[in-house]
Amino acid sequence: MGLRPPHYSHLLENKTQVDWFEIISENYMMEGGRPLAVLDKLREKYPIVMHGVSLSIGSTDKIDFDYLKKLRRLAERIQPAWITDHLCWTGFGGHNAHDLLPLPYTEEAVANTVERIEKVQDFLGRSIGLENVSSYIEYRHATMPEWEFLTEVANRADCGILLDVNNIYVSSVNHRFDPSTYIQNVPADRVWQYHLAGHSDYGDYLLDTHDHPIIDPVWKLYHETIRTIGLRSTLIEWDDHIPEFSVLEAEAEQARGYAKTAA
Amino acid sequence: MQKQPLKKVHEIFWKLITAPEGVEEGLRQFPEIQIEDWFKGDEKLSPTRRLNIYANMYFWRIHDAIKEDYPEVFEKIGEKNWNNLMTDYLLRHPSDTPYLQYVGKYLPIFLKESPLSQKWPELYDLALLEWEKAMLFEAKEASTISIEDLQKIDIAKWPHLRFEFVPAFKLIETSKKDCIRIWRKDHAVFHKIISKEESVALNEALAKKPFSDICEKIGDAEKAARFLADWVEGGLIQKMLL
Ligand SMILES: [Fe+2]
C-alpha cells in the first residue's frame, strides 16, 4: 500500500493487514520532520519500497547528482526492498514539469535512457526498477511500440520493471492498442512489482488520476497479467480524494483474491 | 521526413506545454515545425489537444502545490487573482527543483514586486511567514535542553554561557521591521511577534555571544534571563556551551 499522510495516525496506532508500504521518495528526502519520523517508526514493522517521481531518467539534461545523493541517503536510512521511478522524462533546460512526460520510442531514446540508468545504478550501488507511465500523446517518429521500448531499455540497462497495469490500460485506450499484446511482450523475469489504480474517463480520453476505485476491465487485465507474467508484490495507488484506510484494505484484499485464483 | 533529435523533441514539448496561453499560442515560437510531423493525433483528439492535456496538468499540479504552502495568501487575494498570479509566477520562476513542495519558494519576493501588493501591502509578510513555517516542518531534528539543565549550571558560570539553537528555529524580519520568531515543537510549528529587546537578545545569542554580552546589550540581566527561560521552554536551544 502507498504510505500517505492522511493515514499516518491510523497506521501508528493500529495493526493492519498491509504486507509492505511504498513511499514517494521525494516526500521523505528532507532533513527531518513528521513524515520522516513516521517513516522511521513504520519501518520497524513493515518492509518499505521507495518510488520516486523526479529521476527524469529519459531526460537530455545533466544527471542531477545532488538529487541522487539525497535519494541514496534516504535509502541508507530506511533500507528499502527496492527503488523505482518512471520510464519518462520530467523536465528540460534545468526546469521541472513535475509530471511524467512520454518518451519517443526510438533507438536514440533507448540509448540515452540506458546510459543514464547505468550511471544511476552505479551511483546508487544497486539496480533500479522503472515503471511504464500513462500517456496521452505519441510521437510521429517512434519506431517501436511502447512494450518493445520498455523491454529494450530494461534488458540493455539490466534493470527491473514496475508494471503499472492501470497505465497499460489507460494508454491502450488513448492510443488504441491491445493491452494483452503489451503484457505478453514484457520480459517476465524483469518484473519486480505491479501497480493498480483508478483513473478518470473524460470521454475522448482516459486520465491517470489515482482518485477512483479500480475499474473492472483493469482488474481483468491484472488477472491476465498475473497469469501471464506471474505473481508479484502489488500496490494500489491512491493520491487524491484518499479514502479511509479500510477502503484501501478492501481493495488490497480483492487483489489478494485474484492472486489466489491465478496461483 | 525531417529528423527529430531527442533534445529538440524535449525542447518543443516543454515550450508547448509551458506556454502561458496554451499549446496553440506556444506553437508560434516554432514557425518551422508542423505539429503533425512531430506528434500523432486522431479524429477524436488532435495533437494540440493531446499536448494541452499535459499543459493543463503542468499548470494545475504546480498551482495546487503552491496553494498548499500559502493558504492565507490564497484566502486573501481570492481564486481569480491567485490563478493569474500563478501564471505570472511560473513564467518568471519555472520549477528549478525536483521537489514539488519547493516550487513556491520565490513567491514572497515575487509578491513584493507584484501589483497585488499595492492593494494588499501585507502580502509579502504573510507569504514570508507561511513559507518559513512550511520549511520548519521539515528541518532537522535535534534534542533540546530543559529548564532543569539550565538551573544546574553554577551561577558564577552564567556570564560565560553561550547557546546553540535547534535547526527548527528561525528569526525573520517583516517589511515593517517587526521581528517574528518561528519554531517547531513536537512537530507543530509556532510563531510569535517579539519585542525589539528580545530580537536584540536573540541575535546576540544566535551569534554565539556569551550571556554577559546579551545582558549588556539589552541593559537588563533579569529580562535577559526571562528571555532565555522562554527560549529553553519553547525547545529552541539544543546545547549550552561553556
Ligand atoms: Fe503507478
Q: What are the pLDDT digits (tens) for B65-81?
A: 999 999 999 999 999 99
B22 and B117 in one domain? yes
Residues of A in contact with B140 (CB under 8 A): 31-32
Of the residues B93, B114, B136, the one at which a domain ends: B136
Q: Which of A143-147, B99-103, B173-177 has the lowest average pLDDT? A: B173-177
Give the SS3 label for residue B237: strand
Residues of B in contact with A141 (CB under 8 A): 1, 4, 38
Q: Please classify residue A50 by burial: count the beta carbons closer than 10 Å to its beta carbon, then call 0-12 exposed, 13-18 middle and 19+ buried.
A: buried
Of the residues B136, B160, B192, the one at which a domain ends: B136
B129 and B13 in one domain? yes
- Cell 495533437 identifies what position? B47
**Per-window interface: B 64-93 vs A, CB < 8 A:** 65
Of B37, B40, B98, which is closest to A26 when you measure between CB atoms?
A: B98
For an interface test with A, the pick among B51, B138, B143 (most A C-beta atoms closer than 10 Å) comes out as B138
Q: Which pTM was predicted?
A: 0.94
**Mean residue pLDDT across chain B:** 95
Q: What pLDDT is attached to residue A50? A: 98
- For residue A40, count other CB atoms closer than 10 A to its CB: 12
Residue B1 in any domain: the answer is no
Ligand 1 centre and the CA of A208: distance in Å?
9
Of B45, B140, B187, which is closest to A31 when you measure between CB atoms?
A: B140
Residue A162, all three cell numbers? 514496475
How large a percentage of chain B has pLDDT more than 70?
99
Task: Give the separation between CA A101 and CA B51, rounded to whole angstroms.
Answer: 10
The model's confidence at residue A166, banded by pLDDT at 50, 70 and 90, is very high
Secondary-structure percent of chain A, ordered helix, strand, coil, rounded to 5? 45, 20, 35
Beta strands, E only, A5-87: 21-24, 48-51, 83-86
Q: What pLDDT is attached to residue B2? A: 47
User: How many Å lie between the alpha carbon of B72 and the closest alpha carbon of chain A?
Assistant: 21
Is B45 an interface residue toward A (CB < 8 Å)?
yes
B125 and B154 in one domain? no
Find the distance separating the first CA and the last CA of chain B, reported in whole Å: 75
Q: Does A21 score more than 60 pLDDT?
A: yes
Q: What pLDDT is attached to residue B1? A: 43
* Bridge partners for A236 per DSSP: A196
Q: Do residues A4 and A210 lie in contact, with contact meaning Cβ atoms separated by under 8 Å?
A: no
B175 and B129 in one domain? no
CATH classification of the domain holding B226? 3.90.930.40
* Bridge partners for A196 per DSSP: A236
**Mean residue pLDDT across chain A:** 95
Sorted by where each begins, the domain ranges of chain A are: 5-262
- Cell 527491473 identifies what position? A160
B106 and B206 in one domain? no
Task: Give the separation between CA A193 and CA A235, rounded to whole angstroms.
Answer: 8
Q: Do residues A64 and A31 lie in contact, with contact meaning Cβ atoms separated by under 8 Å?
A: no
B168 and B48 in one domain? no
Report the half-sphere exposure of A93 (CA within 13 A, side-chain side).
Answer: 12
Q: What pLDDT is attached to residue A246? A: 87
Query: What Cα–Cα distance (Å) separates residue A222 from each residue in A134, A157, A217, B209?
Result: 16, 26, 9, 65
Task: Give the separation between CA A1 and CA A21, rounded to whole angstroms.
Answer: 5
Residue B148, all three cell numbers? 532543569
Residue B14 in any domain: the answer is yes
Ligand 1 centre and the CA of A85: distance in Å?
9
Q: Do residues A174 and B42 lie in contact, with contact meaning Cβ atoms separated by under 8 Å?
A: no
Q: What pLDDT is attached to residue A263? A: 64
Whether A140 and B140 lie within 8 Å, measured CB to CB: no
Of the residues B136, B157, B173, the one at which a domain ends: B136
B14 and B114 in one domain? yes
Q: What are the pLDDT digits (tens) for B177-214?
A: 999 999 999 899 999 999 999 999 999 999 999 999 99
- For residue A196, count other CB atoms closer than 10 A to its CB: 24
* Bridge partners for A205 per DSSP: none
Please list, in sequence order, all residues whose beta carbon lies within 8 angstroms of the beta carbon of residue B215, skipping any fewer than 6 positions away: B159, B221, B224
Question: How many domains would you assign to chain B?
Answer: 2
Strands A191-197 and A89-92: unpaired
Whether B95 and A97 lie within 8 Å, measured CB to CB: yes
The model's confidence at residue A204, banded by pLDDT at 50, 70 and 90, is very high
Report the half-sphere exposure of B204 (CA within 13 A, side-chain side).
Answer: 22
Ligand 1 centre and the CA of A55: distance in Å?
15
Of A93, A98, A140, which is closest to B62 when you measure between CB atoms?
A: A98
Which residue on chain B is closest to A110 by alpha carbon?
Answer: B6
* Bridge partners for A108 per DSSP: none
Q: Could you tell me the sign of the dihedral formed by the alpha carbons of A131, B44, A217, A250, in that order?
A: positive
Please enumerate, as own/partner, the contacts of B61-68 that have beta carbons within 8 Å and a separation of 24 or more: B61/A98, B61/A99, B61/B100, B62/A98, B62/B86, B62/B90, B62/B95, B62/B100, B62/B103, B65/A98, B65/B100, B65/B101, B65/B103, B65/B104, B66/B103, B66/B104, B66/B107
Residues of B in contact with A104 (CB under 8 A): 4, 6, 9
B203 and B89 in one domain? no
Question: Which helix H or strand E contains A236, and what residues bound it?
Answer: strand A233-237
Question: Which helix H or strand E contains A224, and what residues bound it?
Answer: helix A216-228
B109 and B11 in one domain? yes
CATH C-level class of A5-262: alpha beta
Whether A141 and B140 lie within 8 Å, measured CB to CB: no
Q: Do residues B232 and B147 lie in contact, with contact meaning Cβ atoms separated by under 8 Å?
A: yes
Residues of B in contact with A204 (CB under 8 A): 44-45, 49
Residues of A in contact with B59 (CB under 8 A): none
Whether B4 and A141 lie within 8 Å, measured CB to CB: yes
B106 and B75 in one domain? yes
**Per-window interface: B 155-174 vs A, CB < 8 A:** 167-168
B222 and B197 in one domain? yes
Q: What pLDDT is attached to residue B138? A: 95
Q: Do residues B18 and A97 lie in contact, with contact meaning Cβ atoms separated by under 8 Å?
A: yes
Q: Does B154 score more than 80 pLDDT?
A: yes
Q: What are the pLDDT digits (tens) for B116-131?
A: 999 999 999 999 999 9
Residues of A in contact with B53 (CB under 8 A): 136-137, 205, 207
Could you tell me the residue range of the domain that residue B58 belongs to? 6-136
* Arithmetic mean of pLDDT, A86-115: 98
Residue B177 in any domain: the answer is yes
Residues of A in contact with B38 (CB under 8 A): 139-141
Residue B141 in any domain: the answer is no
Q: Does A206 score more than 90 pLDDT?
A: yes
* Ligand 1 ion: nearby residues, β-carbon < 5 Å: A 164, 195
Ligand 1 centre and the CA of A210: distance in Å?
9
Q: Do residues B85 and B77 lie in contact, with contact meaning Cβ atoms separated by under 8 Å?
A: yes
B30 and B127 in one domain? yes
Ligand 1 centre and the CA of B81: distance in Å?
34
* Arithmetic mean of pLDDT, B159-188: 95
Task: Give the separation between CA B238 and CA B183, rounded to whole angstroms.
Answer: 13
* Arithmetic mean of pLDDT, A250-256: 89
